[in-house]
Amino acid sequence: MHTKPHQGIISRIDQGNLPDNERRELLLAASGIVGGAGLLATAYPFVASLAPSERARALGGPVEADVSDLAVGELRTVAWRGKPVWLMRRSADMVRALQQPAPELADPLSVRSEQPPTCVNATRSIRAELFVAVGICTHLGCSPTLRLNDGSLNAELHAPGGFVCPCHGSRFDLAGRVVKNVPAPTNLEIPPYRFEGASRLQIG
């Protein structure tokens, strides 16, 4: 049977016929080994307790999200590199509205805005029904609010909804495209992401 180091030392101490100085050294060695093992035993559960996504977040790496239960019109926020990333499921009516010509928008084709190449299209997304965007206004960094029942906003965007920034009134459509003549200079940022299955995606 394998004997742990501190067990061997303790059995020598227990023999009882050791000189005092040797006995004192062995006691110190035993307490050091047991103390080190205690430290490891305390630290290991802490490290192990971090979920993989929390470890990834701590490192600024990709994060995963499951949108299987995301309802139409629902907006969910996940953290990625310290930024709020929105996930929103759009209805067929919302998608149709985004695909119409939009003279009220400042950058409808997103040529001056930040998004991955896979999202340079009218819905600024990989799958038209799922909107993924960094929820930070491109003016001074406030967080815009989703408005689905705002009559004047819907009339301006010719769409069933959009986003309004409460700080200085910038407005965005449901693809994060900014309206002309508001303080925000560009569309909302779209982060890099990809689908890992029917309803799981990796952001970053």
What is the contact surface with ligand FES in residues (CB under 6 A)? Answer: 137, 139-142, 165, 167-170, 183-184
User: 30 vs 138, which CB is nearer to ligand FES?
Assistant: 138
Closest contact distance (angstroms) between CB of 101 and ligand FES is: 25
CB of 79 to ligand FES, least distance (A): 20
User: In the bound complex, what is the minimum distance in angstroms from residue 52's beta carbon to ligand FES?
Assistant: 34
Residue closer to ligand FES by CB (options 62, 144) is 144
Measured from the CB atom, is 115 or 170 closer to ligand FES?
170
**3-state DSSP of the chain:** CCCCHHHHHHHHHHCCCCCHHHHHHHHHHHHHHHHHHHHHHHHHHHHHHCCHHHHHHHHCCCEEEECCCCCECCEEEEEECCEEEEEEECCHHHHHHHCCCCCCECCCCCCCCCCCHHHCCCCCCCCCCEEEEECCCCCCCCCCEEECCCHHHHHHHCCCCEEECCCCCCEECCCCCEECCCCCCCCCCCCCEEECCCCEEEEC
Instruction: Using the minimum distance from each CB to ligand FES, give the nearer residue, 95 or 179.
Output: 179
> CB-wise, 172 or 193, nearer to ligand FES?
172
CB of 106 to ligand FES, least distance (A): 13
Nearest distance from C-beta of residue 187 to ligand FES, angstroms = 13
